Amino acid sequence: MPKIVDYAAERARIAEAAWRLIQKEGIERVSVRKVAKEAGVSAGALQHYFRSQDELLGFAMRLVIERVEQRFDAVNEQLDEVSVSGAKSLLFGLLPLDQERLIEAEVWMSLCVKALHHDGLFSISQSVHKAMQELMVLLLQQLAAERLLKRGLDLASEAVKLHLLLDGLTIQHMMQPAVMTPEQMQRIMNQHLDELISRTDD
């Protein structure tokens, strides 16, 4: 009997091969031929799943977001109520605290740089940026609704700061992993959130 291939799973596996190449050699060195070799398929077989390199890179970019969303949703499902500790857990899930998330972050940043001169990737990056900003606003709104934040905060402004902190910590960790360690990233995020938290004597 012919081997039955899961089309969606194979597309994801090929995209992950592209991730590895991006991380090892840089996005400018990525080609259909190299991705096919990394994935263990022929270039012709790869084109059955992706008609062009642009389509492959676009899918690879969306797959990063899909994995991040899955991780975020998994943490969110475990939370019974809105809490400061829950918010911290959700935000920690967006930081590159392990090798899997570091690969995703490096691939994402590489694709975002390419997106500056690539309309298709730019559109994806902009939609994700907007969704991330909305997520930060929603998270702070939920904390505020439970009276867990200090009164008088400009939530829209604080959401921008939170988004910037996530991006900044990620970039610093990629550039100086021995200095901006996972523990340091968590410590800084904790300190920032603690500055927003309402105290009983406020």
As for how many domains the chain has, the answer is: 1
Contact criterion met (CB below 8 Å) for 43 and 52: no
Give domain status of residue 103, yes or no. Answer: yes
pLDDT of residue 202: 44
Q: What is the CATH number of the domain that holds 14?
A: 1.10.357.10
Give the domain extent around 69: 7-196
Spatial distance between the Cα atoms of 200 and 202, rounded to a whole number of angstroms: 6
Whether the per-residue pLDDT at 8 is higher than 50: the answer is yes
pLDDT of residue 37: 96
Give domain status of residue 180, yes or no. Answer: yes
Contact criterion met (CB below 8 Å) for 86 and 68: no
Contact criterion met (CB below 8 Å) for 12 and 67: no
31 phi/psi in degrees, rounded to 5:
-140, 165
Whether the per-residue pLDDT at 166 is higher than 60: the answer is yes
Share of the chain above pLDDT 90, in %: 86
Residue 22: CB atoms within 10 Å: 24
Whether the per-residue pLDDT at 79 is higher than 80: the answer is no
Give domain status of residue 202, yes or no. Answer: no
Give domain status of residue 82, yes or no. Answer: yes
Give domain status of residue 1, yes or no. Answer: no
